[in-house]
Structure 1
């Protein structure tokens, strides 16, 4: 008998990966129950008259103004708890995948744990030091994956039985053939003070080489102050995330993808695997990429201050095709089989 594959996906919806995750799971034959770690309606919550009175009294008498946030937390807990209650006990063929478990309370993760005896899997696609609340939750899972090799080598995490795995490229849409003439470079990411210099230098050099820029920066805090740090008119400041379908459009229109390392972790970004899947040249400041089986100097330029004169030659060289088995190794379908331990699959490991 052919059993329908089912997965419970618990992750935040505020990133632009939630919808394509669900779409790709369905594309590969899964029915999906989604549990949102960041319910959108709670962000717009207005206090009732009684709650406003409580908030006013606490603030006036006790100098305590956190009631609204406490109320939101309670409502979030109640909302997620009710969602979990609706999930029937899972069979051995079903799975639970939690991404960014630091956004769920330990109580809710414990509640979710009761739904599956064997197939409870966690994944942290940011470094553990960035979100340290994750660490106390790792023991709840049957398997727990991280994408940053430095977490695997960190002595303080030795007892956690972490498993290394990369990010991936979504494979629901097949790439079309493109020519790589170095005409347009695409970057999208959050603002970090630590990478402004590299990013603006990259934009300046590419412009001087005649490359059109499609550089997009989202600033979350101190917007006006941070905006002034990008003096290049071709760097756009965006007010919200570029959604998945629009991101794919930007990738199709580009011949070069740009990846400036997030200073808070060392793992390979999603941009890396988009470049591999869509056969785009990649400019990256993450030198760790040299240790992967898909690295080729014709396709990937590692941005360092002493090699920038070589960039023009790199852009002039044609793209070298990578073995299709290697490309498929880092696609969503194979990544998912690694995470869920569903054989057969090509094993993905992080380099030392």
Structure 2
């Protein structure tokens, strides 16, 4: 039986699109990685490049550059679709970087249409709004977005499930990595201080692109390590799987659950999070997830010392990438993924 061909694209964030491609191939898809072609695509000609720059500077128009690059990209993708013998599915993750013309072309050439998953709050990337009608289905992970825009569909993030049998040894107690965000900096520092006082081994990284001296005025705990650039998603997953507890600090930008929550679930880790919305999900268990209010540490020492509670197998399956991709593409059988009511 011929493997289905899926065209997919995701933002080039620390190699995320390559990790997703690997997991798609693990689940039997022949993959055309649109992101890889986009990164190596220029303008139709030097004159068109100059025109796009002129439009951007004089008229603050970024759409022209997107459209012109999309024309070149479309030619490349058309050749890949023909080489693959046709296209079965098209999946975009945060498609605002593409023109409507390119999305429409891909959708028309896909046997099962095209879908988009917006893995950040909709209001953070307003350029996606004019494109929402170009997709057969449009998914969001934030229940607030689902409530505000009734035509979108619910889903969550997921955990990568292609190498679950290769569980590395645990070498640290608590792990976190994240970009500096003023809304959560004080909480990160306070929790790091508490965990250090409890004698726990911490592996905490903050991506800070300014001078280190400025950072230490915010992150005074010397065990918080500062980085200029993020590590790759592959390295991040390796560190997560080597830790007993994952730390998660919700951003003011959305209330949806981060990848960290699902990594903790899939890799059988404990989770300390400031996102109280997690209590509304079917995988929440107080032995596995500690919801911290950012101030009170009561009960945290007991939580870190207690054993992990094993959940029903169908819960782990539900939030795996394997089920997620079948749900998103409407391939049976799959478990439906929903969001809690707000």
Query: What CA distance in whole angstroms lies between the structure 1 residues aligned with 2:333 and 2:173?
Result: 39
Q: Is the 8 A contact 1:144 1:163 kept in 2?
A: yes
| Corresponding position: 1:83 with 2:83 | no
Q: Corresponding residue for 1:172?
A: 162
Equivalent residue runs for 1:69-218 within 5 Å: 73=66, 76-88=69-81, 94-116=88-110, 118-154=112-148, 157-158=149-150, 161-175=151-165, 184-218=173-207
Give 1:296 deviation, angstroms: 0.6
CA 1:175/1:248 → structure 2, altered by over 3 Å: closer, same or farther?
farther
Q: Corresponding residue for 1:26?
A: 25
Q: TM-score, normalised by structure 2?
A: 0.87
Query: What CA distance in whole angstroms lies between the structure 1 residues aligned with 2:217 and 2:75?
Result: 46
Q: Is the 8 A contact 1:130 1:264 kept in 2?
A: yes
Q: TM-score, normalised by structure 1?
A: 0.85
Give 1:244 deviation, angstroms: 2.8
CA 1:117/1:177 → structure 2, altered by over 3 Å: closer, same or farther?
closer
Query: What CA distance in whole angstroms lies between the structure 2 residues aligned with 1:41 and 1:196?
Result: 37
Q: Is the 8 A contact 1:27 1:172 kept in 2?
A: yes
Q: Corresponding residue for 2:5?
A: 6
Query: What CA distance in whole angstroms lies between the structure 1 residues aligned with 2:173 and 2:203?
Result: 7
Give 1:238 deviation, angstroms: 1.7
Query: What CA distance in whole angstroms lies between the structure 1 residues aligned with 2:209 and 2:70?
Result: 26
Give 1:148 deviation, angstroms: 0.6
Equivalenced residue count is 338
| Corresponding position: 1:284 with 2:273 | yes
In structure 1, list runs of 5 or more residues that go unmatched. none
CA 1:71/1:163 → structure 2, altered by over 3 Å: closer, same or farther?
closer
C-alpha RMSD over aligned residues: 3.4
In structure 2, list runs of 5 or more residues that go unmatched. none
Q: Is the 8 A contact 1:92 1:119 kept in 2?
A: no
What do the CA deviations read for 1:75-102 (whole angstroms, capped 9, x no partner)?
Answer: 6334423333324379898100011111
Give 1:144 deviation, angstroms: 0.8
Q: Is the 8 A contact 1:183 1:210 kept in 2?
A: no
